[in-house]
Amino acid sequence: MTEPVLEVENLSVRYGRVEAVRDVSFSVAEGSLVTLVGANGAGKSTIINAVSGIVRPHKGRVRFRGADITRAPAHKLVARGLVQVPEGRQILASLTVAENLAMGGWHRGRGAARTIDEMYQRFGVLAERRDLPAGTLSGGEQQMLAIARALVAEPRLLLLDEPSMGLAPLVVNEVFSVVEQIRATGTTVVLVEQNARRALRAADHGYVLRTGEVVRSGPAAELLADDDVVRAYLGTA
Ligand code: ATP
C-alpha cells in the first residue's frame, strides 16, 4: 500500500485554556477526497489550520508525503504542495482577478503563467473579468477565484474550508462539481463542510467531528447509510 499523502496523529489544539481539538487522528490516501464534517464550532477549521501551519498544535503530529511538518510554517508548506482555500475565501477585493491569481503562483515564477491560462479556460467567468477588482464578483465567483488561486500553486494536497458557505443552492452545486472535477484530475482533497450530507456524497472517506473530537469515521457511503449517524449528526434535512 502506498503511503498516505497526509497523516494526522493525536492532534490537539488549544486556544488559551479552551481545547478546541482533542486527540484527532486521520489519514488521507493519494488521490482521494476526504471530508471532515460537523456542526459549527466542532473544530474543523482549527484542524485544517493546524495542518497548513496557520495554528500551532498543542500535541500530536502531522506528516505530509512522509515528512514531519508539525512545526512547518504555512508559506513553506505551500511551496511543498500543501495549499489551503480558507474559510470566507479571503480574496483581495481591491486587486484584480488577474492579480489575485498571480498571488497563488508567487513561488513558481514564470511557471505559473501556463496554469493561470488553464484557470481562465476552466473558469470562463474569471477570464471575462480578469481586469476587474475581485470585490466586484458575486459570492460564487469569488469562491471560484479562491479555488483557482489555490490551483495555480499546483497543490499535491488541497484543503478546502467550507467552500459552499453562504452560497445559493445552484451555486453550491457548481462548487461541489468543481471540487469533484479537481479530485478527478488526481489532486488529493480534504474538504471541511457543515453541509455534511453533500460533502459525504462527494467523498471517499469521512470523519464526523463533535466538540473537537472524531466521533465517527469510515467510508463516506457507509456513514451516509448509517441511520445512527444520520439521526445524530446529519439532521433530517
Ligand atoms: P466553523 O464552521 O464555525 O468554522 P469549526 O468546526 O471550523 O466551525 P473551529 O472554528 O475550528 O470550528 O472552532 C472550534 C472551537 O474553537 C470553537 O469553540 C471556537 O469558538 C474556538 N475557537 C476557534 N478559533 C478560536 C480563537 N482564535 N480563539 C479562541 N477560540 C477559538
CATH number for the domain harbouring residue 114: 3.40.50.300
Q: Which atom of ligand 1 is nearest to the CA of 55?
A: 27
Secondary structure letter of residue 170 according to DSSP: H
Residue owning grid cell 500530536: 60
Note the pTM of the prediction, 2 decimals.
0.93
For 41-91, strand residue ranges (E) read: 59-64, 67-68, 82-85
Average pLDDT score over the chain: 93
Asked if the structure places residue 156 within a domain, the reply is yes
Asked if the structure places residue 1 within a domain, the reply is no
Contact 140, 106 (CB under 8 A): no
| Count of domains for the chain | 1
Q: Is the CB of 38 under 6 A from ligand 1?
A: yes
Q: Which atom of ligand 1 is nearest to the CA of 39?
A: 6
Asked if the structure places residue 151 within a domain, the reply is yes
How far apart (Å, rounded) are the C-alpha atoms in residues 76 and 88? 22
Q: What is the pLDDT of residues 31-78, one digit of tens each?
A: 999 999 998 889 999 999 999 999 999 999 999 999 999 989 988 999
Asked if the structure places residue 15 within a domain, the reply is yes
Asked if the structure places residue 82 within a domain, the reply is yes
Looking at the predicted structure, is the pLDDT value of residue 198 above 60? yes
Asked if the structure places residue 125 within a domain, the reply is yes
Q: Which ipTM score applies to this complex? A: 0.92
Lookup: cell for 195: 453541509
Contact 48, 190 (CB under 8 A): yes
3-state secondary structure of 168: coil
User: Taking the CB of residue 10, how many other CB atoms lie within 10 A of it?
Assistant: 12
- The residue-averaged pLDDT of 204-218 equals 95
How far apart (Å, rounded) are the C-alpha atoms in residues 148 and 143? 9
Q: Is the CB of 166 under 6 A from ligand 1?
A: no
Give the range of the structural domain holding residue 139, as residue numbers without chain letter: 6-233
Q: What is the pLDDT of residues 91-142, one digit of tens each?
A: 999 999 999 999 988 777 777 888 999 999 999 999 999 999 999 999 999 9
